[in-house]
Structure 1
Amino acid sequence: MVLFSAIIFIFGAVIGSFLNVVIYRVPRGESIITPRSHCTKCGKTIAWYYNIPIISYLILGGKCKYCDEKYSINYFLVEVLSAIIALVLFMKIGFSLEYFLILAMFYTLLILSFIDLEYKAVPDWILLVVVVLGFSCVYNDFLDSIKNSFIFVGAFVMLDFFITFYIQNIKSKILKDETLKTQRALGEGDLPIIAVIGALLGLTSGMVAIFLAALFAIIPSIYNNIKNSEKQTAFIPYLSLGFFVEYIFQISKVIL
């Protein structure tokens, strides 16, 4: 069992290396197949022994072997998180078709999370992949799952309307900040993920996942306020984290 868990962890890290390619290249309109992994500064192809997931980053100190260009810590984080997700889901679900569907869904959410952190916008086609994978994982009454997803999306559309109205028409006047007049509470990319959360977790568990997401998002929001930063907080990473934590630990069954 320990050996198999180690294999799953390594498998997850290897997939994480590929997810890094997707996260970097898709927003730039580049192919995720060719060319091979290379340094974005000096352009040299990275040899396989300098491209071992997790290990190479640590050994090289997060720098390019050829030009000492500092790599983003995100490369390391994606590989570690990918490995952890693979292992934790395996321990919860076991080796099955459901495992691979759920794993693919959370990997797609991982991609969206890091793209959202960088660009505050995500490709629609990747959101569609999440929706397809999410609804493929529904094993209860499918119509109930559809109903729950509609309830969640409808509730958050109304919530977005009221909070956005407050930000644009009240907060902007109080703070005398013209930039707030175009700011929205939720991004359009949040809604498909909220729909999947409602469909997979149901109303009660889904609400706990959303609450956790809001709780996680408070920390960077407070930090930005303290720093007087105009940087908006990307919500997809925290939605995904809240979703994952509730899916794994089912906190709703403990507190409700």
Structure 2
Amino acid sequence: MALFSFIFGLAFGSFLNVLILRLPKNESILKPSSCPNCNQKISWYNNIPLISFLLLKGTSSCCKEKISFHYPFVELLTALITLFLFIKLEISYSFFFSLIFFYILIVLSFIDLKYKAVPDYLLLILFIFSFFMTEHSFLEAIKAACIIAGAFVLLNFLISFYIQNIKAKILKDESLKTQEALGEGDIPVLASFAIVLGINASLIAIFFAALFAIIPSIYNTYKNKDIEIPFIPFLSLGFIVEYFLEITKVIF
């Protein structure tokens, strides 16, 4: 069953790639897979998750252009998360609800990486399924979500005020006057994490997310690049670390 869960994750990872590619473009997710470079239809034997990428050596079978590494990465990541969830929860209702939650989180993360924006309906679905994952009562879950989300709304206001009114004047950069510290999609994701994990564990997840986000931030500073860093992927990483390792139980 563990092997089956991994293979199932690989197969579903391929579908998540379709969602990541097509949802932001409002394209049908039911049409056959096609090459992202030349739009030629991909044969089934060239569309086997992970295996086809390795056999084709990372190039398209039709136009020989390089295939983005994010395709096999999403497939492998989905397979590993499916396997870890099976080991943690076994076959249960919690397992299937958790699968949906994590799959949506993967889609949100990679859309945010590419477009720096995410569809609102995916955030809503993530928020709804967080209630099916939580071990807390409904009132406790709502309380945790309000505290975490509210705290970050206030933090976003304070940091954004500094960026738009102080930093913009110091650097004389007009573009900073519309820049915000957090994206609109970050708050619902944080609220969803609070519902699943509770307040203490959410803070640990956010701490790890901040640590992970420091790495590209330092790199951009070193390269003198002022690039907006999407935060949902790092929030997701922090959530994965806390959810599976349960670091909060060690600390508290």
Task: Give TM-score, length-normalised by structure 1.
Answer: 0.96
1:1-256 alignment runs, 5 A limit: 4-34=1-31, 36-256=32-252
Q: Shift of residue 252 of structure 1?
A: 1.4
Q: Shift of residue 178 of structure 1?
A: 2.1
Task: Show CA shifts across 1:143-172 (max 9, x none).
Answer: 011011001111000000111111112222
Q: Shift of residue 106 of structure 1?
A: 0.7
Q: Shift of residue 175 of structure 1?
A: 2.6
Structure 1 gap ranges (5+): none
**Equivalent-residue separation in structure 2 for 1:216 and 1:207 (angstroms):** 14
**Equivalent-residue separation in structure 1 for 2:23 and 2:203 (angstroms):** 32
Task: Show CA shifts across 1:3-25 (max 9, x none).
Answer: x2111111001000000000001
Task: Show CA shifts across 1:28-75 (max 9, x none).
Answer: 1100011x1111222221111111101111111211111112111111
Paired letter, 2:152:
F
**Equivalent-residue separation in structure 2 for 1:42 and 1:197 (angstroms):** 39
Contact 2:11-2:49 at 8 Å conserved across structures: yes
Q: Shift of residue 136 of structure 1?
A: 1.8
Contact 2:134-2:197 at 8 Å conserved across structures: no
- Taking only aligned residues, the RMSD between alpha carbons, in angstroms, comes to 1.1
Q: Shift of residue 194 of structure 1?
A: 0.6
SS at match of 1:167: helix
Task: Show CA shifts across 1:215-241 (max 9, x none).
Answer: 111111111111222220000001111
Task: Show CA shifts across 1:117-154 (max 9, x none).
Answer: 00000000111110111112223211011011001111
Contact 2:20-2:107 at 8 Å conserved across structures: yes
SS at match of 2:94: helix
**Equivalent-residue separation in structure 1 for 2:168 and 2:251 (angstroms):** 37
Identity of aligned residues (%): 54
**Equivalent-residue separation in structure 1 for 2:38 and 2:17 (angstroms):** 19
**Equivalent-residue separation in structure 2 for 1:27 and 1:229 (angstroms):** 26
SS at match of 2:28: coil
Paired letter, 2:184:
E
Structure 2 gap ranges (5+): none
Task: Give TM-score, length-normalised by structure 2.
Answer: 0.97
Dislocated runs of 4+, deviation >4 Å? none
